[in-house]
Structure 1
Amino acid sequence: MGRKAAIIGGGVIGGGWAARFLLNGWDVAVFDPDPEAARKIGEVLANARRSLPGLYERALPPEGVLSYHSDLAEAVAGADWVQESVPERLDLKHGVLTRIMAAAPADAVIGSSTSGFKPSELNEKGARAIVAHPFNPVYLLPLVELVGASDQTAKAADILRTIGMFPLTLRKEIDAHIADRFLEAVWREALWLVKDGIATTEEIDEAIRMGFGLRWAQMGLFETYRIAGGEAGMRHFLAQFGPCLTWPWTKLMDVPDFNDALVDLIAGQSDAQSGHRSIRDLERLRDENLVGIMRALKRTGSGAGGVIRAHEQSLPLGGTGPDGLPVTLDIQVPTSFVDYNGHMNEARYMEVASRASDRFMAMVGADDAYIAGGFSYFTAENHIRYFAEIAIGDRVTVTTQALGGDGRKLHLLNRFWTGGETPAATVETLLLHVDLSTRRVVAPEGPVAERTAAYVAAHADHPRPDRIVLNQPRG
């Protein structure tokens, strides 16, 4: 039986939570009196379906069932997780949490998306909620700040990891938790820079996204400054830049009057900066950029990329495809894979085939440990055949057939399936087994040789392509 999450409040954050749970196989029940809630959440889900699976080379679980409810008690009934995401008013949260407590299962995690209130404040009326504070878009960004009773935050952390998130548990409660305290400091200084005419909203955004924002995405604050200290490390950095803390560089202890004039100034500059794009366009641009950055980070396991890599490894990969052959890759085409014509370009076909071949290598025992031991397979030739277009968002399941494995050579055919009765493309690959110490082609021995031979024999009765190009006798 599937797990159930109840989302109380279907705004930007609530909709993001709904998408994160739903796309990870949970049933999701939404309670929100807004008559537009279904439309708004539907639009968030459309963006999530377009972007989240593109982070992975394995398929996410089948989507759960989404339902909308006009009665809060009905929404939370049987829920394993209840997420309160109503507006930041303590009296409103108290009322909602009281109703949740009356109807939710006793063992359900009750999380609040609050960005500022502490658990002691949330639970003043007898609730047992914890802070589970995410970041927008919830369906892409992994961080969730957890604050509250240790048994509940530990249980919540275990659940969050199963849906690809990174739980950060605070050692003690504090207003605005950790991340928003940093954001508030930057926000205050930015308000002064705009008010004093030092920079516009666009210029401030450029300073972040062209510089330290890129560093922070992979290393955070302290690791970035450690590198800034050079070979002497953090101690040298602190000695060099510590005195700056006494200089009047910022106005963090002073706040400009938040009046209509300042609001008009900032809103006007923001309209000039981004008013030509709709909110949905900006969301899609944001999501596409985040997917590209996080996929790059996934390659090295840095920052959020490490979370995605670990979650991906927990997703099942295996079974057989439409042709009865083993599945070696299951991927949704991300936005970065398409060209100006809107379909996957040639380089990405090779990338997908390469990953499928790597998976097959691991299946016969030529995995990371084998390579570390001094042997591997090198690609000698490839041949691509295109039968149908593959577009952004398409799910591509790759099956691999061992056409031959005569000692030093491994001859594979990767078929790309997108839901039709015939493959959308094939990539024929010829690999050579290499001794990495001598860089010479040698025959594999032991389990690798045995498993390769077994696959070749098992696949011999499967239909072969109507035309084989590689590994043919030379005339």
Structure 2
Amino acid sequence: MNPVSTDNMNSAMKTSSRRRAAIIGGGVIGGGWAARFLLNGWDVAVFDPDPEAERKVREVLANARRSLPALYDILLPAEGQLSFHAQLAECVSNAIWIQESVPERLDMKHRILAELQTYADDNAIIASSTSGFKASELNAQGANAIVAHPFNPVYLLPLVELVGDATLTTQAADILHSIGMFPLTVRKEIDAHIADRLLEAVWRESLWLVSDGIATTEEIDDAIRMGFGLRWAQMGLFETYRIAGGESGMRHFMEQFGPALEWPWTKLMDVPDFTPELVDLIVEQSDAQSGHLPIRDLERQRDDNLIGLLRALKKSGHGAGTVLNTHEKTLIPQNASDASAQPIGGSEGAISSPLVSLPVTFSCQIPNTWTDYNGHMNETHYVEAASRATDRFMELIGADAAYIASGKSFFTVESHVRYLDEARADETLTVRTQVLPTQGKKLHLFHHLSTDADKPVATVETLLLHMDLESRRSCPPESVVAERLATFATAQAQLMMPEGFGRAVGQKP
């Protein structure tokens, strides 16, 4: 590793207020932590004596760059600066958060934590990724660290188990919330915390099922992913069982299945001998199951599937989806455009008049789930992006959630899409909205969709009518909305009608 290796970054984006995280250990977990902080706008410094550490971290980061932004319907903050350091003291200098992710050896953790205690700023939080050790064990030789145990991939899965000093864990929780994670403070310290104890129980029973010839590794994985694993993603264990109790709920379930706890269904208090034969059997079955795929390919498959699941939960507002929705709301103030707008650039832009600005009403990194078998964005999602842009424009003129709750809104009457070029996953999609001449009950919008470097990829023309939600009839908008709409229309009056305006399907150019 070079003494200091640093990513280039636009100096104009750097500010004195940028926060810095130090990652000690650049393996799978450390790399995931680095990506989570970096993609949420933090500067990240990494220390790991492994000469392959920088390559490994950058490979994890490459996966994170294509997956984490795809969870959101707005852009994440500008990426921070990533650096690699050969000296521990240099790495942790000025760091607010220090994450230790070295191997699970208590002697090694004691040594590293002692050094971190010496070099860290007084107000820095020192956290360990340990999956098994208690905070008291980590601090037995005078360190003042907490447990912050994440789950792989750290850049996608929100859960972090916190154990330790109440003041420190409270401060840590605030920081973790700010980077889109879900801190769960463990009430009493215990070996392996909460989640890993549950995983250990399933792991022990699975080892017995393989050892006794009941099932293969693939069959056990199928039993999880085709059944209760899908339920757990949205409801967990106890809520799932509450539903299993029917109308009488949890009490009926407990009465019906409680006696089964005394039956010899499991071997949780025991574990099969970890013989070479058992290890070979499991390795052989695992290789047959997925050994034909490189690890990075498996990681990308996992990430793509997690994106789909998490976006579904985000839409329904359940489980981890609530974490994403909450985090996204904190990002809107720094990313959302206002009426002052942003300019259309490039000679190929759809705006005829130069030096004219339009509001950015929607912007996101295109998720892999928006692409089709041709590898580019499916037509459905061009309309979805335009719909989100319409929603944002409605907010800009005052037809927001509160206005809708009062009984008024705009309904889409007609839309027309023109596909100009391909848009692909990982590109940034930006929508700018032009108000077409309109009056009375009508709202006539023309959305310009472009990707990186302002390449036009589509236009969506939309006509809406203002509606009374109680009578379900059209009506003029309230004065505040009408006035704000008029302000937009006046500001854009100098624009020529956009190319493609009024087009019908099949109409010749």
Which of 58, 81, 99 in structure 2 is aligned with 1:65? 81
Matches of 1:35 and 1:349, distance apart in 2: 44
1:354 and 2:387 correspond = yes
- CA change 1:174–1:421 in 2 (3 A) is closer
| Residue aligned with 1:423, SS | strand
Q: 1:303 aligns with which of 319, 344, 366?
A: 319
Using structure 2 for the length normalisation, give the TM-score: 0.91
Q: How does 1:13-412 map to 2 (within 5 A)?
A: 13-315=29-331, 316=334, 317-319=336-338, 320-323=341-344, 324-412=357-445
Distance between the aligned counterparts of 1:463 and 1:158, measured in 2? 49
Distance 1:182 1:461 in 2: 64
Distance 1:145 1:467 in 2: 54
Contact 1:381/1:470 (<8 A) preserved: no
* Alpha-carbon separation, structure 2, partners of 1:203 and 1:422: 48
> 1:20 corresponds to which letter in structure 2?
R
3-state secondary structure, aligned to 2:436: strand
Partner secondary structure for residue 343 of structure 2 = coil
Alignment-mate amino acid for residue 335 of structure 1: N
Compare 359-368 and 296-305 and name the one that shifted more.
359-368
Q: Distance in 2 between matches of 1:422 and 1:463?
A: 20
Indicate how the Cα distance of structure 1 residues 251 and 72 shifts in structure 2: closer, same or farther if over 3 A, else same: same
From 429, 435, 439, the equivalent of 2:472 is 439
Give the secondary-structure state (helix, strand or coil) at the position aligned to 1:404: coil
Is the partner of 1:425 in helix, strand or coil? strand
1:419 deviates by 2.7
- Summarize the Cα distance change of 1:412–1:248 in structure 2 as closer, same or farther, 3 Å threshold: same
**Distance in 2 (alpha carbons) for counterparts of 1:283 and 1:290:** 10
Q: Counterpart amino acid of 2:433?
A: T
Write the distance in 2 (CA, Å) between the matches of 1:31 and 1:462: 54
The CA distance in 2 between the partners of 1:174 and 1:158, in whole Å, is: 23
Deviation, structure 1 residue 263: 0.6
- Would you say the 8 A contact 1:414–1:427 is kept in 2? yes
Q: Is the 8 A contact 2:427 2:452 kept in 1?
A: no
Alpha-carbon contact 2:41-2:77 (below 8 Å) kept: yes
- Cα distance, 1:372 vs structure 2: 2.5
Moved more, 360-369 or 82-91: 360-369
Distance 2:232 2:479 in 1: 46
Deviation at 1:422, TM superposition (A): 4.9
CA shift at 1:417, angstroms? 2.3
The residue identity in structure 1 corresponding to 2:492 is: H
Q: Which runs of 5+ in 1 are unaligned?
A: none
Inter-partner Cα distance in structure 2 for 1:29 and 1:410 = 50
Matched residue of 1:349: which SS?
helix
Give yes or no for contact 1:333–1:395 (8 Å, CA) kept in 2.
Answer: yes
Deviation for aligned residue 1:454: 1.9
State the Cα distance separating 1:240 from its structure 2 match. 1.3
How far apart, in 1, do the equivalents of 2:92 and 2:495 lie?
A: 50
**Which structure 2 residue ranges, 5 or more long, are not aligned?**
1-15, 345-356, 505-509
- C-alpha distance in 1 between matches for 2:500 and 2:94: 56
Q: Aligned residue for 2:7?
A: none
Q: CA deviation at 1:421?
A: 4.4
Partner Cα distance (2:297, 2:131) in 1: 26
SS in structure 2 of the partner of residue 397 of structure 1: strand
Q: Which runs of 4+ in 1 moved over 4 A?
A: none
Q: How many residues align?
A: 471
Give a deviation string over 1:230-278, Cα, whole Å, max 9, x none.
Answer: 1111111111111111111111011100111111111111100001111
Question: How far apart in 1 are the matches of 2:92 and 2:330?
Answer: 28
TM-score (norm 1): 0.97
Contact 1:405 1:453 in 2 (8 A): no
Deviates more, 1:231-240 or 1:261-270: 231-240
Q: CA deviation at 1:188?
A: 0.4
Farther off after superposition, 323-332 or 267-276: 323-332
SS at match of 1:114: coil
RMSD over aligned CA atoms reads 1.3
1:51 touches 1:334 (CA, 8 Å); kept in 2?
Answer: yes
CA distance in 2 between counterparts of 1:192 and 1:363 reads 60
Any idea what SS the aligned residue of 2:177 has?
Answer: helix
